[in-house]
Amino acid sequence: MTVHPDADFVREIVLRIFGQSGWRAADVEGLTEMILISDGKYRGRSYRAAGLMAMWLADLGLLQVYDRQGQMLRTINLFEEQTALQRAA
C-alpha cells in the first residue's frame, strides 16, 4: 500500500525549493496554494510565489517545479522523499 504525503510535508518542500531559488521563504503570506480537482476527484495542489510555480500531482506522487519562464526546473518523487524521511526517523 502506498501512503500519500500530506499537504504540510509537500508545502515544506515547496518552501525550501522556492527559497533556494531566491524567494524569501519567511514570506509565507506570498505563497498562493490551490487545490486541483478534475472530474470531481482530488488531483493535487499548485503553489505560486514570485513567479515560481510548483505542481503536486498526488496520484503520481510527483512534485514538478517551474521557473519564472515556465521551464521545468526539477521533478521530485514524493513517495521516495517520504520513505527516506521515515527511514531516517
3 state SS for 41-80: EEEEEEEEECCEEEEEECCCCEEEEECCCCCEEEEEEHHH
49 alpha carbon, distance to own chain's centre: 12
Q: Cell numbers at residue 11, please?
A: 508545502
Question: What per-residue confidence (pLDDT) applies to 1?
Answer: 44
Intra-chain end-to-end CA distance of the chain, in Å = 20
What is the average pLDDT value for the chain, to the nearest integer? 83
Q: Are 46 and 36 in contact (CB under 8 A)?
A: yes
Cα 55 from Cα 48, distance rounded (Å): 9
Specify the higher pLDDT residue, 50 or 33.
33
What pTM, to 2 d.p., does this model score? 0.79
